[in-house]
Structure 1
Amino acid sequence: MASVPGRIVLSEKFRWAVAIHELGHAAVAVVWAVSIESKASATVERQILGGAVMEAGEFENHGKQLYLDNIAIHLGGMAAEQVFLGEHGDGVASDLDGATRLAVILDRHLGMNGVLNAWPAGIDERLIDSARRMESPLTARIEPILQEQLARAKSIIESHRVSLEGLWLELIGSGHLTGQQIVDGLRPDKTTDPPKTRRKSRQRLHG
């Protein structure tokens, strides 16, 4: 037991931020479950303190809209922080990384952003990382995609603000909500629904 890393209690302020971040992902896509931790390791530098498990989709030939949808899902946590907290914290780094990679793939691998002179087939992570470090026409092309999908995610969050506030309280109280609880609890504030995303992400998004 002495060799097990110690656990520290997370502050209420921090847990509120993690909770709304994960609910942001949930509001932009249908999820299996969303959870937050109440304690963290005192010694581990990188750890997962919240997560939203996305519903897996069937194998099919995907078009541009699915990639845009998944970029919006990645940015849902940031959107929720900005809407409810006024700004986003540094916990959005992995989400931004995932969203940016999808935008690069959409643009340079799949010819879905006006450029047909694609990179070689197959995802080369080193090539993506190298291109992202340069101020280039590529970065100029994908920035509007990221901005547009962040705005779209914020629109979805804002249109469900009242019900998200209720789910926020529930998640803080219990530490865990099932996907069905979230689906049942989400109600648009207005009669007109915002643009919806497709539920095809096969990954777990971490705050």
Structure 2
Amino acid sequence: SLMNEGAILAARENRFKISQFDLIRSIEKVMLGPERKSHILSKKEKEITAFHEAGHALLAGFLPNTDSVHKISIVSRGRAAGYTLKLPVEDTHLYSQKHLLDELAVMLGGYAAEKIVFKDLTTGASNDLKEVSEQARKLVMHYGMSEKIGPQSFGRSDELVFLGRDLVMEKNYSEKVAEEIDGEVKRLINDAFVKAKKIILRKRKFLDKLAKRLIEKETVEKEEFEEMMRKEKKRTTRQ
């Protein structure tokens, strides 16, 4: 568990109390995997990863309905070359439509940043694309958050064990409805991408500044990121 992992980290440093820093580190390890210090990025890979993660963080910082950024890093963990750790401002069991739509844009922040900065794309966004596709489909199929489809739930999961498969999803809708669902999923993802690009283009100088900081330090903590955000918002207010 997170508390156990936090206790282990504290004990290794001869401390008797678990700090918030220990909990953040345990969240990183449990959610993202251990640091891969042996995985050294090339100069170009480091630059691409820095802009990719800066894109995620920038969107999370400037959109109003997202989780807060706790850490941005280009130190490899698990299978990821870098990561942006976001955590809810407070414990919640309910997520609004506004929150989920803004989070779709955050998921595409790295993809959008790569496309804008390098005029090219890498395989680094593959997990983001998987997550945004799954989340958009949930909005349409399970949460009733598509105006076109309306308040309906599609697909029933039956817990069956058959030929080594633990879960079988029953398709309880027509091909016509399936096409409409696919169309709505595509629309949500496209809208999120347009939103992500618009904000990144508007805040391009801030993106460059944050990416440069990541290249220099490899990690930007919550406090530093919030200070950078505060200065940026103050600067734009003056204009």
**Structure 2 unpaired stretches of 5+:** 1-35, 61-67, 160-166
Give the 3 Å change call, closer, same or farther, for CA 12–145 of structure 1 in structure 2: same
Asked if the contact 2:133/2:189 (under 8 Å) is kept, the reply is yes
Deviation of 1:52 after TM superposition, in Å, equals: 0.6
Matched, 1:70 2:103: yes
Give the 3 Å change call, closer, same or farther, for CA 155–127 of structure 1 in structure 2: farther
CA displacement, residues 136-186 of structure 1 (integer Å, 9 cap, x when unaligned): 332112111101101111112122211221221111011110122222223
Give the 5 Å matches for 1:3-152.
7=38, 9-29=40-60, 30-37=68-75, 47-56=79-88, 57-114=90-147, 115=149, 116-119=151-154, 127=169, 136-152=179-195
Q: Secondary structure at the match of 1:118?
A: coil
CA displacement, residues 14-35 of structure 1 (integer Å, 9 cap, x when unaligned): 1100111111110111300000
- More RCO (CA 8 Å, sep 6+): 1
CA displacement, residues 31-88 of structure 1 (integer Å, 9 cap, x when unaligned): 0000012x79xxxxx7222011002243153332111011111111111111211122
Give the 3 Å change call, closer, same or farther, for CA 158–179 of structure 1 in structure 2: farther
Q: Secondary structure at the match of 2:104?
A: helix
Deviation of 1:191 after TM superposition, in Å, equals: 5.3
Q: Secondary structure at the match of 1:136?
A: helix
Which deviates the most, 9-18 or 82-91?
82-91
Instruction: Count residues with an aligned counterpart.
Output: 177
Asked if the contact 2:59/2:196 (under 8 Å) is kept, the reply is yes
Structure having the higher helix fraction is 2
Deviation of 1:8 after TM superposition, in Å, equals: 5.2
Matched, 1:168 2:206: no
After TM superposition, where is structure 1 displaced by more than 6 Å over at least 4 residues in a row? 121-125
Which deviates the most, 88-97 or 156-165?
156-165
Give the 3 Å change call, closer, same or farther, for CA 17–35 of structure 1 in structure 2: same
Root-mean-square deviation (CA, aligned residues, Å) is 3.1
Which deviates the most, 7-16 or 27-36?
7-16
Matched, 1:154 2:186: no
Q: Secondary structure at the match of 2:198?
A: helix
Distance in 2 (CA, whole Å) between partners of 1:36 and 1:143 is 30
TM-score, normalised via structure 1 length:
0.74
